Every structure is written in C-alpha cells, then in structure tokens.
Structure 1
C-alpha cells in the first residue's frame, strides 16, 4: 500500500527548497549543480522528476523560460513558513504539544556553548516580558 502524501516536504524536497531559497529562480541544471555541490549528486532526470512532483504538490512554481531558455523554478512558500509548520507538527506529534518538553529535549541533544545558551536566555526573557505586557 502506498504511503499517503505528507503536507510537509520530504528530505529531498527540503534540500531542493533550501537550494531555491538561497538563490531563486533556478533552472533544473542549476538546482542539480547546487545539490551536487552540497554532496547530493543526482541524475538530471531525477531532478526533473522531483521538480515536477513539487510543482504538483504546490511547493514550487514553474516559470516560463526567458527568450527560449530553460524553465526556471521558484518556491511558493518562505523558509520560515515551512520550518514553522514542520516544527509545529513535530511538537504536536512527538511532544504532545508541549513546548517545555521540546526545549528539554533540545538541551539533551544539542551541544550548546555558552554564547548560544546566553542568547537563548535573552530570547526567553524577552518572551516573558512580552507575555506580561
């Protein structure tokens, strides 16, 4: 039985989105080259198939060629919106909606240095002040 489509991008779709977020719009060849530079060397036909699938899923759009050149592709959703949706899904499904459990787990698995911890403390303090206003 086939796995149902997820509303979130797959691992490869997310890699393609990251490439497009960094520099859009891009041709198939440019996407393929950027993926290869990042260590994911795929066949040209595989990239074409993935881009077509992503167009069908509403993740990216296919732009008309300029002066007879190759089609270009551009993301339809911003990085922040996709990451927020994916993180929200993980919080709900894995941590039963508990932000506290997510933070505790983050502290367990992430190797945070003093600067990162200080920055997190500042963000938490800022959120606490916003909540009191």
Structure 2
C-alpha cells in the first residue's frame, strides 16, 4: 500500500470529487464516479484513504461522511515535490522546462508564468522580466 501521502490515480479521482462537492457520503462519490466499479470497491478505497490520512471520516451520522484532509493545492504540492525529486534530480526548473516543452501553454498561462518568475526574481533581489521581454 502506498503510504507516502501521494494518492494513486483512483484516489485522485475520489479526491477530485470531494474537492468539487465538499464533504459527502461514499454513495454520492460512487454515483459521481460512474466508472462501473462496485460500491464496495469505492467504500474500501475511501476507508483506506482515511487510514492513509488522505480523507477525514465523520462517523457521527448513520452514513459516514468523508472529506479531503488536504486541499487540492496541498495535494498537488506533494505530488509535484515527489516528481521533482524522483524524475528531475530535485530541479524544479527542469520540471517546468520539460512541462513547457511537452505541452503548449496559452498566452494567459505564459503571462501568469512571467508574473510568477518576476515575483521570484524580486524575492531573490534580481530585476524582473517585464512583459516586453521573452521567456
């Protein structure tokens, strides 16, 4: 069992539902999945996720209510940090360059990246890129 705090693909599907809907029951999550898996499989997966501290379970009602223990951003941070360490020798820049060379970024995304890089440069005491410069 993966106990690193890094969710599996199936667990990420469940987390995505919980991030979107907020706290809910296994039955509601199972209905949202609609992928043909048995209800008991969804139940067992969510129970394991609670054991792994990915979910919190409220047992005060007849139907237990689950919610994500971490926000979507926190979970993405765990996944990205692990990927940087395992596949990019700890280099966030190498990950970013690979991502941008693999998938095309929209103009809006490029502008967001430019602003992020400017902010990082300012924190490091270097001049920003400015919108007229190219990445």
TM-score by length of 1: 0.84
**Secondary structure of residue in 1 paired with 2:2:** coil
User: In the alignment, which residue of structure 2 is the partner of 1:14?
Assistant: 12
TM-score by length of 2: 0.83
Distance 1:48 1:103 in 2: 37
The question of 1:46 aligning with 2:44 is answered no
- For structure 2, the 5+ residue unaligned runs are 127-135
Misfit runs of 4+, over 6 Å: none
**Pairs within 5 Å for 1:1-133:** 5-7=2-4, 8-36=6-34, 40-66=35-61, 68=62, 70-132=63-125
1:65: Cα distance to partner? 4.5
Aligned length: 125
Distance 1:123 1:61 in 2: 33
Distance 1:119 1:24 in 2: 28
What is the RMSD computed on CA atoms of the aligned residues? 1.7
